[in-house]
Structure 1
């Protein structure tokens, strides 16, 4: 993330503080709506985070401020002039344009985060080494998991998509672990199903290393993930938009392919089979 992005400033503000689960929920909510938070009242933030107004006040005090007004004033003061100018410009956009502009900012944050490629490269090595490779994504995250699994199967010898919950989910995780899996990739997007957190806890108990793509380091699944790589989601429309998590999934695919010695050969073999079958229209 860029050093002066709203989400980055918030995350630095939270670092080093021992937050309660309720306070982590507030922090998570603030990171998700980083550009709007400096303009919210304590009551509005409490409603957005699903907590009480006194909890917001205690949260601000835990961060070292006299109260929430002091925290909000700090967030406004540290925003650079260019960012404040952008906020004024956004007022001229209609709601659909604002949603697109929000996703553009999310992609900027993702690009800046990738300036340090080591977390993604580590994840790529973990995913490449896991045979089979279970890929989990339920509800809102199911399309992210399915897209990753579709492309991953072209370069990885055994990808197992887990996009349906229920009592058999733990069985399928156990089956993957029993077949030799060493890692599990999870796409976790809000609202977070309780079942996902339970599945990740089960996977860790089964000996799998959990790599998670989530919208924030403060997402509820962070505590049951071994390596969490954040990619923000858009919240400007009735339903969240997830361009950054989708793109991060493709970046992870690239990192995994780089760690697979026979990835190129597998791709070429697939292309040859597709051509022989006339699979695609030219």
Structure 2
């Protein structure tokens, strides 16, 4: 029985990851308005349900008008929303496949399974490593390197900065908003920064969007890790790397964005010729100081 349950979980997880990937592929290459990006983001978050939602239901979930949903479908090349929904149903997993994993877990297990789905989707995206490699080169070349993350994303930014400082000579954490944010971006740019890394997770603070807009105005290249390719920071980013968050609990879970941050660290280390020497130097100092309890 345990083996059968594991097989069902794997099948359900693969189906969920496949639904998300299909939606992402459907939206790519289309110039969407902010309202349409909001609808797309909602559909990605509800990938398993999207083929079965009416236009009214989707509009309510996304917080937009029903005509906006119709215009969104037309922008994707369909005659209207019914044609878009039919397309989604045609490519969706069979009902039996969806049902295989339903009802087998309590709400806490379902939250874990959702994160597993997000990690599977991230693995699919990383099949093409070039965006991450490019981001690693941009971050390695920026001296100093500002790392921005506010509110829900502050933990991701702080974790990245903590490890990045072991290999990068000058990492500046920007984890407080307010009127000083633009000043700190200015200071990093004047000191020679060429790129800024931003972690952006829901709910997206307005000052993050404004901060990225300002950073690009100063000439910084913005690399963003966000929960979706259609997040509000997308139009203010030069290179956006998506990693979905889990929404099954009262507060979002962010395993995939955290892992993507570590992948970015690895890519940055590969682009820093003295990264290994810096790590060895840190280990030697830590041992001399008795910094860690073995």
> Same fold by TM (over 0.5)?
yes
In structure 2, the residue matched to 1:186 is 198
How many aligned residue pairs are there? 280
Determine if contact 2:51/2:92 at 8 Å carries over to the other structure: no
Q: Does 1:40 align with 2:53?
A: yes
What is the CA deviation profile of residues 126-174 of structure 1, one whole-angstrom value per residue up to 9, with x for unaligned ones? 0000010000000110000000000000010000000000100000000
Deviation at 1:124, TM superposition (A): 0.4
Determine if contact 1:188/1:212 at 8 Å carries over to the other structure: yes
Determine if contact 1:32/1:215 at 8 Å carries over to the other structure: no
Q: What aligned pairs does 1:134-213 form with structure 2 within 5 A after superposition?
A: 134-213=146-225
Determine if contact 1:154/1:267 at 8 Å carries over to the other structure: yes
Deviation at 1:66, TM superposition (A): 4.3
Which residue among 260, 263, 267 is the counterpart of 1:248? 260
User: Matches of 1:249 and 1:116 in 2, distance apart?
Assistant: 16
Secondary structure at 1:220 match in 2: coil
User: Matches of 2:64 and 2:118 in 1, distance apart?
Assistant: 26
Q: What aligned pairs does 1:4-15 form with structure 2 within 5 A after superposition?
A: 5-15=18-28
User: Matches of 2:33 and 2:41 in 1, distance apart?
Assistant: 12
In structure 2, the residue matched to 1:259 is 271
Structure 1 length as normaliser, TM-score? 0.94
Pick closer, same or farther for the CA change 1:18–1:261 going to 2, 3 Å. closer
* Structure 2 unaligned regions, length at least 5: 1-13
Determine if contact 1:90/1:98 at 8 Å carries over to the other structure: no
Pick closer, same or farther for the CA change 1:275–1:16 going to 2, 3 Å. closer
Determine if contact 1:155/1:267 at 8 Å carries over to the other structure: yes
Q: What aligned pairs does 1:44-63 form with structure 2 within 5 A after superposition?
A: 44-63=57-76
User: Matches of 2:165 and 2:227 in 1, distance apart?
Assistant: 25
Deviation at 1:11, TM superposition (A): 2.2
Secondary structure at 2:116 match in 1: helix
User: Matches of 2:175 and 2:149 in 1, distance apart?
Assistant: 5
In structure 1, the residue matched to 2:101 is 89
Deviation at 1:86, TM superposition (A): 4.2
What is the CA deviation profile of residues 189-238 of structure 1, one whole-angstrom value per residue up to 9, with x for unaligned ones? 11111100110111111111100001111111010000001111111112
User: Matches of 1:12 and 1:187 in 2, distance apart?
Assistant: 23
Which residue among 223, 228, 250 is the counterpart of 2:235? 223
Question: Please, what is the CA RMSD of the aligned residues?
Answer: 1.8
Determine if contact 1:141/1:189 at 8 Å carries over to the other structure: yes
Secondary structure at 1:160 match in 2: strand
